[in-house]
Amino acid sequence: MTAATPATTAGRDRATATRLTTALGAAALVGLVVHLVLALGTTPADRVQRDAVRLLYVHVPAAWLAYLAFAVTALGSALYLWRRTRARFWDVAAGAAAELGVLFTALTLALGSIWGRATWGVFWTWDARLTTTALLLVLYLGYLALRRVPADPEVRARRSAIAALVAFVDVPLVHLSVEWWRTLHQEPTFLRRDLDPTIDTSMAVGLWVSVLAYTLVFAWLLVHRFRVAWLEDRLDDHALEAALAERRAEAEVDPELVVSS
């Protein structure tokens, strides 16, 4: 039987859950239950959209979390590029947040298409809001692909950070597109500059609870995804060190194999 290596032992013994993340997950679960009760039972149907409006209790939080995730990616990237705060931590955090951002952007587009079919009569149209959101998804898919291109870790982290900051420019374009251009998509009714939702009070409460619940879910997912990525990063370092040690050992001459004259 071979002894376990430090890398495999660390990977087996360390977990991504703690008491804090367990409590965070429990709070997220409670929030989701309350969100479902409000979205499906308490809040009324819209006079025009009828029950299709209930999609917004997931669509709006998904869009908000896409913004939040990419903001975390941009922040982590900026801190990595700044010499005083440069650390692998920020690069890993940026990548973890971007993965969740892509997930929530895809969810935003999917739910928006269903809602559009019910209200506009089509699943897709080249509306400014839809187009800039689709572009956002493509940009961050490209960012994630760039992170997987083989390269020196520092070089890969640096160029990924630059790509993330460039891609983030599209986030304010997405949000402000309904104000800058004539679009089918309605203007903001929740994430408004004046923070005054132009909807029924019960609907506003339902949306606030939904946003809070899904933000807790995002935080829980981000912590776990970051920890998994951090462990993967450490395992890669151990594997590299083991490979280098093996090559050094092969290059050395074993004295016992030297034939004495």
**What pLDDT, in 10s, does the model give residues 76-93?**
999 999 989 999 999 999
Q: How confident is the model at residue 100 (pLDDT cuts 50, 70, 90)?
A: very high
Which residue type does 189 have?
T
pLDDT of the residue at 51 = 67
**Mean pLDDT, the chain, as a whole number?**
80
If one compares 64 and 121, the residue with the highest pLDDT of the two is 64
For the record, the structure tokens of 196 come out as: 């005054």
When pLDDT is cut at 50, 70 and 90, the band that residue 64 belongs to is: very high
Predicted pLDDT of residue 39? 78
Identity of the residue numbered 39:
A
**Tokens (6 digits) for 87:** 């650390």
Residue 71 neighbours by CB under 8 Å, 6+ apart: 168, 171
Q: What is the pLDDT of residue 10?
A: 46
pLDDT recorded at residue 21: 82
Helices 56-81, 153-168: axis angle to 10 degrees equals: 130
* Percent of the chain at pLDDT exceeding 90: 43
Q: Is the pLDDT of residue 104 over 80?
A: yes
Instruction: State yes or no: pLDDT of 4 exceeds 50.
Output: no
pLDDT of residue 16: 66
pLDDT, tens digit (0-9, with 9 covering 90-100), for 128-159: 888 999 999 999 999 999 999 988 889 999 99
pLDDT at 75 (0 to 100)? 97
pLDDT (mean) for 3-25: 62
pLDDT score, position 217: 94
For the chain, the farthest-separated pair of C-alpha atoms sits apart, in whole angstroms, at 100
| Residue-level pLDDT at 112 | 87
Question: Yes or no: is domain 18-226 CATH 1.10.287?
Answer: no
Q: 213-255, pLDDT tens digit by residue?
A: 999 999 999 999 999 888 887 775 555 455 445 555 555 555 5
Give 234: exposed, middle or buried? Use CB within 10 Å, 0-12, 13-18, 19+. middle
DSSP single-letter state for residue 38: I
Average pLDDT over residues 175-182: 78
CA atoms within 13 A on the CB side of 34: 17
